[in-house]
Chain A
Amino acid sequence: MEQKLKTDFDKFISNSNFSNQEIKLKKEALDNFLKNGFPSRKLENWKFSDINQIIQKNIGELAFYNNYNIENGINDDIFIKEIEHNKIVIVNGKVERFSFEHEESDKVNLTTLDNINQNLNDYNSLLSLNNSFSNKIHNILVKKNYSFKKPLIIYQITNEEVSKTNINFQLNFELEENSSIKIINLSDDNSEKNFINNLFNFNLDKNAILKNYKIDKKNNTNIKYDYSSITQKENSISETFIFSSGSDYIKNEVSCNLEGQYSSAFINGIHFLSKNKHHEIRTNTKHLYENTKSYQLIKSVIDDSSKSVYQGKIYVDSKAQKTDGYQLSKAVLLNEQAEFNSKPELEIYADDVKCSHGSASGSLDEDSIFYLMSRGLDQKTAKELLINGFLLDVVEKITDEEIKKLLKDMIGLN
């Protein structure tokens, strides 16, 4: 793999026009990755999802070169019709279209970052891999006191042109004081057996609001790592919703640093898995200042021989008094082969805090199924109704009514 990485990297650099400084940083990132390799189960955070082994088993040898000079066509049929929205269209890791047509142009700044983004909440070797092979990093800056009028939908598309390839992508958001944005990140995979490595970085200044809804619904055999790093100043709010279902493997990592008082982070997620899928949500919420709040609700429905993992970490710094942290994970296993792993981690260094966690798993309640069937519902309908009911309260947590309705229809919950 090492040789392949080096030759693909050289090819990538010679076909791009990065500055010398960027090339230097990218080389360093590559060296870091070469030193560490893909994360494996030896690392605590990866013990339920050994991505090294999963890539080897499902893909085999990966190519790392990605030609960003190709122009990819976009089929407008894939765009959501139900709501007016702004768009970013990404095809195979390359941004093909920005459209902020509903916003005031002087309130949103679109730039590329000169430096690769070093300022993240955590580190793992996949971030080095991303830094070394990702294309120019775009930065979206929302100016002070400006609220996006319409949601931004990020279409993340892969097409048949790529296979057994590693695709790296990064996007950066700066939300200035008192600004807000609603994002739907929609995966649309038409490719098979790639390793997709995403990194989203959000910086929220005072009173900023981020609502981020991530939807992976379409069935595909890609393997994904999706990392969101969210840094929050005073009184800012982040709301993350994850619907994780379509890809063969995903690890969603959400890392929130609550740096300013009264900042709060909400993370709600659904795993809806069948066949032989393996999805993980790992959260790392750091309470770094007084009076901060975090809330997490993760629910999994697991069928066949699929596997769902939730690792939820809450860290409370010694100066983060009056922290309010909550997490709950629940799973319904529909099959004897289905597997659910849950690992809550609470690391608390302050003494005046309120933190709670809970985890429960089981099968659908037989008595409830009987009750519904005694009212004329066949077994399949009865089970669907119960599953729907089980997942509904996660979707109900979505605070934007228009998006909630859209996502309910999209996911098929009501």
Chain B
Amino acid sequence: MLKINNLNAKIQEKIILSGFNLEIKPGEVHAIMGPNGSGKSTLSNILSGKKGYEVSGEILYENNNLFDLETEERAHRGIFLAFQYPLEIPGVNTNIFLKTSLNSIRKAKGEKELDALEFLKLVKEKAKELKFDEEKLNRQLNVGFSGGEKKKNEILQMSILDPKLSILDETDSGLDIDALKIVADGVNALRKKNNSFLIITHYQRLLDYIKPDFVHVLMGGKIIKSGGAELALELEKKGYENFN
């Protein structure tokens, strides 16, 4: 599904990723762990099409060159990034935003757009699953939401848009245990044969709830070690500094 070959990324002459390789197959859950500044967020930004990076190398998504696709086209083809810091958008109603988003993607896929009633039914159902206060959906997008509510809102969007490749950028940070469980349940509910996940995190904690198939350690802009779920536990014990 996703194949990254020798990815290098610079921002203002500063090298962030260098010789990064990763392959994710349909249905797999990969976790990338790494210390601050190791390039985790850069990776998720580049995958979802944020401008401002100087990149070389190759990223293939479903055998297409990802760099040929605009940000919104990537979303249309099933890439979803749950933001580390979801943005507050004043004046934009959350429901209207969600509906516009879902229908943009459905339209691009050649599917019928949902009308207001169909949409509300879907959104209600998903909000209930995630124990997300429905009343908040009538408010401005993320404005006045707590840190946890913002993260939950990301997962709500993910479950409504039903992406093929979900990238979770430190979704666990700022969540209490209860919220963490709800978010994990939301992710697990989306785990299907063809849906893949890339989970970026500092801590092993989230991986107690979402069992990864692979764990990679990112340091100095590249993956220095890969393994199974047990690698996360080892990392937690040793710490990043003593890991090599």
Interface string of A373-414 (1 = CB under 8 A from B): 111111101000110111111000000000000000000001
B74, B96, B101, B108: most-surrounded residue (chain A CB, <10 A): B101
Which chain A residue has the least Cβ–Cβ distance from B52? A366
Would you call A377 and B91 a contact (CB within 8 A)? no
Considering only residues 69-90 of chain B, those with a C-beta below 8 Å from chain A are 70-72, 74-76, 80-81, 83, 86-87, 89-90
Contacts A373-B49, A373-B72, A389-B140; A378 near B104 (Cβ below 8 A): yes
Chain B residue nearest to A382 in the complex (CB): B72
B79 to chain A, nearest CB (A): 8
Residue from the list A370, A371, A389 in contact with B91, Cβ < 8 A: A389
Contact B91 A390 (CB under 8 A): yes
Closest to B87 in A: A371
Tell me the smallest distance from the CB of A380 to a CB of chain B, in Å.
10
A377 contacts B101, C-beta separation under 8 Å: yes
CB-CB under 8 A from B60, the residues of chain A are none
CB of B137 closer than 8 Å to a CB of A: no
Interface centre among B71, B83, B108, B157 (most CB of A within 10 A): B71
CB within 8 Å: A-B pair count: 76
Partner of A376, one of B50, B92, B96, B161: B161
CA–CA, A299 and B102, complex, Å? 30
A373 to B92, CA, bound (A): 14
Is B204 interfacial (CB-CB < 8 Å)?
A: no
Query: A368–B140 Cα gap in the complex (Å)?
Result: 13
A297 to B242, CA, bound (A): 57
Instruction: Give which listed residue, A372, A379, A391, A393, contacts B89 with CB less than 8 A.
Output: A372
Interface of A is mostly: helix
Inter-subunit contact B75/A385 (CB<8 Å): no
> What residues of chain B lie closer than 8 Å to A379, measured between beta carbons?
72
Give Cα distance in the complex from A389 to B51, angstroms: 23
State in angstroms the CA–CA spacing of A373 and B161 once bound together. Answer: 13
Q: Note all chain B residues with C-beta closer than 8 A to A365.
A: 87
Contact, CB under 8 Å: A368 / B87: yes
A368 to B91 CA separation, bound complex (whole angstroms): 12
List residues of B (101-116) whose CB comes within 8 Å of A's CBs.
101-102, 104-105, 108
Q: Is the CB of B92 within 8 A of A386?
A: yes
Contact of A374 among B81, B90, B97, B140 (CB under 8 A): B81
- Contact of A367 with B by CB under 8 A: yes
| Distance between Cα atoms of A377 and B101 in the complex (Å) | 6
CB neighbours of B108 from chain A (8 A): 376
With A373-B49, A376-B105, A378-B104 as contacts: A388 and B72 at CB distance below 8 Å = no
- For the complex, what is the distance from the CA of A370 to the CA of B49, rounded to whole Å? 8
Instruction: Answer whether residue B196 sits at the interface, using C-beta atoms and an 8 A cutoff.
Output: no
| B161, A371: Cβ atoms closer than 8 Å | no
A329 to chain B, nearest CB (A): 16
- Shortest CB distance A115–B (Å): 47
What residues on A are CB-neighbors of B49 within 8 Å?
A: 370, 373-374
Q: Tell me which residues across on chain B come within 8 A of A393, comparing CB atoms.
A: 90-91
B70, B72, B81, B105 pick with most chain A CB within 10 angstroms: B72
Contact of A367 among B87, B96, B140 (CB under 8 A): B87
Partner of A386, one of B89, B105, B157: B89
Q: Which residues of B contact A414 (CB under 8 A)?
A: 96
B64 located at the interface, meaning its Cβ lies under 8 Å from any Cβ of chain A in the complex: no
Which are the 3 A-B pairs with shortest beta-carbon distances?
A389-B91, A376-B75, A375-B101
Q: CB within 8 Å of A: which residues of B?
A: 48-51, 70-72, 74-76, 80-81, 83, 86-87, 89-92, 96-97, 100-102, 104-105, 108, 140, 157, 161
Mind listing 25 A-B residue pairs with CB under 8 Å? A366-B51, A368-B89, A370-B51, A372-B97, A374-B48, A374-B49, A374-B71, A374-B75, A375-B75, A375-B101, A376-B72, A376-B76, A376-B105, A376-B161, A377-B104, A378-B70, A381-B100, A385-B89, A385-B97, A386-B92, A389-B89, A389-B92, A391-B91, A393-B91, A414-B96
Task: List 18 additional A-B contacts (Cβ < 8 Å) besides A374-B83, A388-B91.
Answer: A365-B87, A370-B49, A372-B89, A373-B70, A374-B74, A375-B97, A376-B75, A376-B101, A376-B104, A376-B105, A377-B104, A378-B72, A381-B100, A381-B104, A389-B140, A390-B90, A390-B91, A392-B91
